[in-house]
Amino acid sequence: MIPVGGGEAQKILELPLAISGPRWAPDGRSIFVVTEVVPALQGDLAAEKAELKKQKDSKVTAKVTENEFYRYFDTWKTDDRATHLLRVDLATHRTTDLTPRWNRAWSFDGSADFDVSPDGQWVALSAGTTPPPFHPTENKDVYLISATAPGTAWKNLTADNPTGDDDEPRFSPDGRSLYFLRRHDEGDEAENLKLVRCDLATGALTEVFPGLDLSVHGVRLSPDGGSLYFTAEDHGRTKVYRSVAGAAPEAIVSDGTNSNLAVGRAAVFFLKNSFLRPDEVYGFDAGRGAETVRSHLNDELFSHLKLGRVEEHTYSGAGGDPIDPDEVRYWEVFGLVRWAIINMMQAHGHVLGGRRSVVFAACGRNVSQIEYDLLMTISGRYR
């Protein structure tokens, strides 16, 4: 922790495995953090360190598991590690494990999303409901847990959706509602994420913007709860949207790729990048409706560069529907990146001896061609 006015950093906590996602408690006296633990040894840091060293020094590379899901891209999921949420008292540095009985990762991809209620009494988190051996596949639900009584049973707020994920919980400023994102069909990655509100008193769930043809991400609310902000992709851009008093959302920032919203009383802050500039911090003044850049980290570098223009072109597709070439190119780039990752994974399987194959070895050589295609596509020379 570093004082806002400057000074030396103070170590608050040291654990055997990585710490992430620090979140202030509303009273400012403690922080919430996420870490991984070895469930059988939790609470015994010395034993955990010894076990992790034993695993690291082991010459055995074989993996043994009964689980259906055992690898995520290049990361093995066979080490029996669990995601835990800790509350750390800043005065005493005492830690309280709020999820002592949880014995697996919250999510296959390693993400750990949670939010703290305005009164600091509750935590909402998203975690996979499906237990090992993970058949059927992972189903993430939103749970409400006590921030003061770790032994209290978790309350599943989204048990009505057994076929899709519920994620990114966010409390309303008055603490009466919880917002989260919902996908109904886990197998349909193209499905738009819907924004749902849970009335914490009754448990009633309501879709906030029924019929909205956008996939909602990064929901944030204004301090008074009167405005709701989120980002969503539209026509090859990631725009910032605002809904005032429950009205239909409108785009307030349309250019570039915008992310990491932080909402204040009079302004919204976010990161913006484009084909012409990397990320900088921007602010949107809600009163004036004006957007201004707040950081200038790359001004000196880009003052020496002469970049081309970004133009928008559309043409008609089947049935007369308009097609945006830049939007098509956007998805072509993602397709090439995905194909490159797949080729690298197959090549690693050959090199590491897991799946010896001449075909997989050739996939490694293919990565350089995909890299060239990717650069040509980004530059616009492939049309």
**Inside any domain, residue 183:** yes
**Inside any domain, residue 316:** no
Which of 273, 302, 331 is the last residue before a domain boundary? 302
pLDDT at position 249 = 97
pLDDT at position 127 = 96
9: Cβ contacts below 8 Å, ≥ 6 apart: 1, 2
**Inside any domain, residue 7:** no
Residues 355 and 240 occupy one common structural domain: no
pLDDT at position 85 = 97
- Per this entry, what is the length of the chain? 383
d(CA 48, CA 51): 5
pLDDT at position 269 = 97
Nearest-5° angle of CA 43, CA 44, CA 45?
100
Residues 367 and 267 occupy one common structural domain: no
- Amino acid identity of residue 177, one-letter, is S
User: Tokens representing 327?
Assistant: 């939007």
**Inside any domain, residue 313:** no
**Which has the closest alpha carbon to 146: 85, 196, 201, 94?**
85
DSSP 117-152: -TTSSEEEEEEE-PPTT--S---EEEEEEESS-TTS
pLDDT at position 326 = 77
Residues 142 and 250 occupy one common structural domain: yes
d(CA 227, CA 244): 4
Give the total number of structural domains in the chain.
2
Which of 302, 336, 367 is the last residue before a domain boundary? 302
Q: Return per-residue pLDDT of the chain as tens, 383 residues.
A: 888 888 899 899 999 999 999 999 999 999 999 999 999 887 788 999 999 999 889 999 888 888 888 888 778 888 889 999 999 999 999 999 999 999 999 998 889 999 999 999 999 999 999 888 888 778 999 999 999 999 899 999 999 999 899 999 999 999 999 999 999 987 677 789 999 999 999 999 999 999 999 999 999 999 999 999 999 999 889 999 999 999 999 999 999 999 999 999 999 999 999 988 899 999 999 888 999 999 999 999 998 988 888 777 777 788 888 888 777 888 889 899 999 999 888 888 888 777 778 888 888 888 888 888 888 888 776 55
Residues 103 and 162 occupy one common structural domain: yes
pLDDT at position 381 = 65
pLDDT at position 291 = 94
CATH number at residue 267: 2.120.10.30
Per-position b or e across 83-115, b if 16+ CB within 10 A of its CB: bbbbbbebeeeebbbbbbebbbbbbbeebbbbb
325-351 and 358-379 helices cross at what angle (nearest 10)?
A: 150
Which of 302, 337, 358 is the last residue before a domain boundary? 302
Residue 91 sits in which domain range?
19-302
Residues 110 and 255 occupy one common structural domain: yes
Residues 371 and 277 occupy one common structural domain: no
Residues 94 and 133 occupy one common structural domain: yes
Residues 298 and 349 occupy one common structural domain: no
Residues 364 and 223 occupy one common structural domain: no
pLDDT at position 124 = 98
**Inside any domain, residue 136:** yes
Residues 53 and 110 occupy one common structural domain: yes
**Inside any domain, residue 315:** no
| Residue 313 vs residues 215, 234, 235, 323, 328: alpha-carbon distances, Å | 23, 15, 11, 9, 11
Residues 287 and 365 occupy one common structural domain: no
Residues 158 and 297 occupy one common structural domain: yes
Tell me the whole-structure pTM to 2 decimals. 0.81
pLDDT in tens, 59-97: 998 888 888 888 887 788 888 899 999 999 999 999 999
